[in-house]
Amino acid sequence: MRSRALRARARPVLGELALALATPRELDRRLRAATGFLQSVDLEIGRLLKQVLDRRLYGELGLPSFERFVTERLDLAESTARRLVRMARAEHTRGARSAPIATRAAASSRSGERPRAPQSPSSDRTSPPRGNPGGTNRPSPTSRS
């Protein structure tokens, strides 16, 4: 029993040593593999959350809202849960061939970027640009000359 505990404590130290001796290419390969794994996990969590939200299963679990479900039961931020559901919906509406698009969105959100939905070249925007909410070229009330 004692040797098992010692081996368990030695694993992280040996793992750190192996990482310290790894080549840049090996670290890159391992990072890409780990990122791919995380992306697949994000997509699976999104699929599960989509079912809970669409079928309103949070009510059957005794919670009044999806937001309360994700924050209290899963310890997830509401915004994170909604992002994961959007990824699952994007995968569902575009078909299985677009899974890389959804996983790229997960990776970009981890790096601090906002995930962007792919737009077709002919997409027509109906809303004004973000920087100009009114759609006019008037200066904002705070920027007086």
For 113-136, the pLDDT digits (tens) are 444 444 444 444 344 444 544 444
With respect to residue 118, please indicate whether it lies within any of the assigned structural domains. Answer: no
Q: What is the helix (H) or strand (E) element at residue 38, kind and residue range?
A: helix 24-54
CB 99 within 8 A of CB 43: yes
In the prediction, which pLDDT does 107 show? 47
**2 band by pLDDT with thresholds 50, 70 and 90:** low
In the prediction, which pLDDT does 30 show? 92
Ranges 2-6, 19-23, 27-31: which has the least confidence: 2-6
With respect to residue 91, please indicate whether it lies within any of the assigned structural domains. Answer: yes
User: Of the candidates 19, 24, 46, which has an alpha carbon nearest to the alpha carbon of residue 109?
Assistant: 46
Structural domain for 96, as ranges? 12-110
With respect to residue 100, please indicate whether it lies within any of the assigned structural domains. Answer: yes
With respect to residue 119, please indicate whether it lies within any of the assigned structural domains. Answer: no
- What does DSSP assign to residue 72? I
With respect to residue 48, please indicate whether it lies within any of the assigned structural domains. Answer: yes
With respect to residue 41, please indicate whether it lies within any of the assigned structural domains. Answer: yes
- Residue 4 pLDDT exceeds 50: yes
In the prediction, which pLDDT does 84 show? 97
CB 120 within 8 A of CB 111: no
Alpha carbon distance 91, 84 (integer Å): 11
With respect to residue 71, please indicate whether it lies within any of the assigned structural domains. Answer: yes
Alpha carbon distance 105, 109 (integer Å): 6
In the prediction, which pLDDT does 18 show? 86
Count up the domains in the chain and report the number. 1
Structure tokens at 63: 């919670």
- Residue 82 pLDDT exceeds 60: yes
With respect to residue 26, please indicate whether it lies within any of the assigned structural domains. Answer: yes
What residues contact residue 116 under an 8 Å CB cut-off, 6+ apart?
105, 108
A 10 A CB-CB count for 48 gives: 15
CB 95 within 8 A of CB 101: no
In the prediction, which pLDDT does 6 show? 57
A 10 A CB-CB count for 113 gives: 10
In the prediction, which pLDDT does 93 show? 86
Alpha carbon distance 105, 56 (integer Å): 25
Model confidence pLDDT, tens digit, residues 35-81: 999 999 999 999 999 999 999 999 999 999 999 999 999 999 999 99
In the prediction, which pLDDT does 15 show? 82
